[in-house]
Structure 1
C-alpha cells in the first residue's frame, strides 16, 4: 500500500491499481476517494474551473505528484472539465520530463 502524504494521493493509489492504459475518473469518484481521508475537503473549486489545476507539472501543481509518481498523466484533450478527467499511462520519457 502507498503511504499517503497528501489528500490527493488517494487518486494515485487508485490509479496504481488500474490494469489498463487509460482511466476515466469522474469528479464525484475523485471526491469520494478524497473524502475518505479528508471528509470536509473535496476537490477545490479551481479543479472544476481551470485545466491548469490538472497540469502534469509537480513543481507548480503539487497535486499532480499523486498521479505522476505512479506513472500516470492527465490527458485534458479527452477530459471534460467539471465532469471527468482522463488519465493515461505515462511513458518513461514523459515521466522523466515531468520530474525535471
Structure 2
C-alpha cells in the first residue's frame, strides 16, 4: 500500500483524457501534504526518470495510464493519458 494509492484511484476512475489539479487538490486527494520537494523540483513530477528510479508517486499515475506535467510556478499538475 502506498500513500499515493488515492491519487492512483482518482486517475484510474476518471474518463477524461487529462485532468489538471492544483497541488493543494492533490493534497486533498491524498489526505496529507505533498513533500517539500514536490514544490521545489519538477523532477519530483517526472515520468521517465521516475520509472527507472521507482518513485512511488510516479508509479501511482503511470500505473493508472497517465503521465504528469507540472508547473511549479502555478503550483499545479496536469495528468494526461498516455
State TM-score, norm by structure 2: 0.85
Residue 14 of structure 1: aligned partner? 10
- State the number of aligned residues: 78
The 2-side partners of 1:51 and 1:67 are apart by 15
State TM-score, norm by structure 1: 0.71
**Retained in 2: the 8 A contact 1:9–1:67?**
no
Question: After superposition, where does 1:42-61 map in structure 2 within 5 Å?
Answer: 42-56=33-47, 57-60=50-53, 61=55
Gaps of 5+ in 2: none
The 2-side partners of 1:43 and 1:34 are apart by 8
More strand by share: 2
Runs of 4+ in 1 over 3 A off after TM superposition: none
Residue 26 of structure 2: aligned partner? 30
Gaps of 5+ in 1: 36-40, 91-100
RMSD: 1.4
